[in-house]
Amino acid sequence: MINLETVKTIAYLGPQASFSEMAKDYFAKKFNINAYPTPLQTIRQVVEYVDDNPDALGVLPVENSIEGTVRESLDNLMFTKNSNVNILSEFFMPINHCLLARTTEFSSITGIISHPQALAQCQDFIHNEMPFNVNIIEASSTAEAARNLQNYNLTYAAIGSEKTAETYNLNILKKNINDDKTNQTRFVLIGNFETKTTGNDKTSLAFSTENKPGALLKVLEIFMNNSINLSYIASRPSKQKFGEYIFIVNFDGHIGSGNILKTIQEIRENTTFIRYLGSYEKSKAIVLQQ
């Protein structure tokens, strides 16, 4: 379990008022964590910080209901130096994006700054409501975009939350501009700790197979033969050879269960790479109305 006495810091993608900071606040309250908050500039820095500090926790966005997998999070989590860094908990956060600016004139906006995920989640709004030649600038986070508006002229706006507007004294020109009004992001808490089974858990695993017919099917059949429900599967390029992939899966159960241990061992025997990413209590996605 998370040893609260040894946790000294909790890292997340900053700065103040980022969605990751809000997720950090949720996890801190859930586990009664009184740790020093450490906002960092990139997701990679968050993972590396936890990798290098056994007494640290980290918060990562890993999946969005519109854009799917947050690639930077999983790519870095799969290849930590310390294989004990794993997922400890998850949280689904509703995401409501707003258009924020120092001006109050929506019609004057000629540029938008935000994190690539936020920009992607608001594509329809940008296409339909903004000038066709609107200038798009990417930032390391939605909060960083809002904070940096002071470095641009009044015709630039940022995409962020209502909390971000309040924190950086910005006007909200438009609310709920994300393409899907049920938009939410799954955040996870990571650290060098183990969790105990709750009876309502999921396990995350990454693996690669040989690039030959039936190799992936053989692994998937292991889940079926052990009566394990596979709830999520995604693929990422191995970055070693074109056409080779790493598969990330979530499935029901906890590594403390004999059946899950047996399953992972069988998978290990049929893969070229395997990385246990954690067993943790399931959190329900929030049902939102359109």
d(C-alpha 127, C-alpha 101), whole Å: 18
Q: What is the tens place of the pLDDT at every residue in 104-154?
A: 999 999 999 999 999 999 999 999 999 889 999 999 999 999 999 989 999
Indicate whether 15 and 65 sit together in one domain. Answer: yes
Whether the per-residue pLDDT at 85 is higher than 80: the answer is yes
At 4, the pLDDT band (50, 70, 90 cuts) reads low
d(C-alpha 20, C-alpha 62), whole Å: 11
Indicate whether 170 and 217 sit together in one domain. Answer: no
Q: What is the pLDDT of residue 290?
A: 37
Whether the per-residue pLDDT at 243 is higher than 80: the answer is no
For residue 286, the tally of other CB atoms under 10 A from its CB is 12
Q: What is the pLDDT of residue 55?
A: 94
Whether the per-residue pLDDT at 289 is higher than 90: the answer is no
What's the whole-number mean pLDDT along residues 70-95? 93
For residue 246, the tally of other CB atoms under 10 A from its CB is 24
What's the whole-number mean pLDDT along residues 240-254? 91
At 244, the pLDDT band (50, 70, 90 cuts) reads confident
Return the structure tokens found at 124: 């329809």
Q: Which of 161, 191, 221 is the last residue of a domain?
A: 191
| β-strand partners of 122 | none
Percent of residues, the chain, with pLDDT higher than 70: 97
Does the residue 49 lie in any domain? Answer: yes
Q: Which of 143, 159, 191 is the last residue of a domain?
A: 191
What's the whole-number mean pLDDT along residues 224-245? 90
Indicate whether 150 and 133 sit together in one domain. Answer: yes
Indicate whether 91 and 106 sit together in one domain. Answer: no
Q: What is the tens place of the pLDDT at every residue in 254-285?
A: 999 989 999 999 999 999 999 999 999 999 76
Whether the per-residue pLDDT at 287 is higher than 60: the answer is no
Give residue 154's domain range.
Answer: 98-174
Averaged pLDDT of the chain? 93
| β-strand partners of 144 | none
Return the structure tokens found at 36: 């020093």
| β-strand partners of 210 | none
Does the residue 220 lie in any domain? Answer: yes
What crossing angle do the helices spanning 258-268 and 215-225 adopt, rounded to 10°?
Answer: 170
CATH code where residue 112 lies: 3.40.190.10
d(C-alpha 248, C-alpha 237), whole Å: 11
Does the residue 196 lie in any domain? Answer: no
Whether the per-residue pLDDT at 26 is higher than 90: the answer is yes
Q: What is the tens place of the pLDDT at every residue in 162-196?
A: 999 999 999 999 999 999 888 899 999 999 999 99
Indicate whether 21 and 43 sit together in one domain. Answer: yes
Does the residue 126 lie in any domain? Answer: yes
Q: Which of 131, 156, 191 is the last residue of a domain?
A: 191
Whether the per-residue pLDDT at 98 is higher than 80: the answer is yes
Please state the domain count of the chain.
3
For residue 123, give the H/E element and its range: helix 123-129
Q: What is the pLDDT of residue 276?
A: 97
CATH code where residue 260 lies: 3.30.70.260
Indicate whether 21 and 71 sit together in one domain. Answer: yes
Whether the per-residue pLDDT at 241 is higher than 90: the answer is no
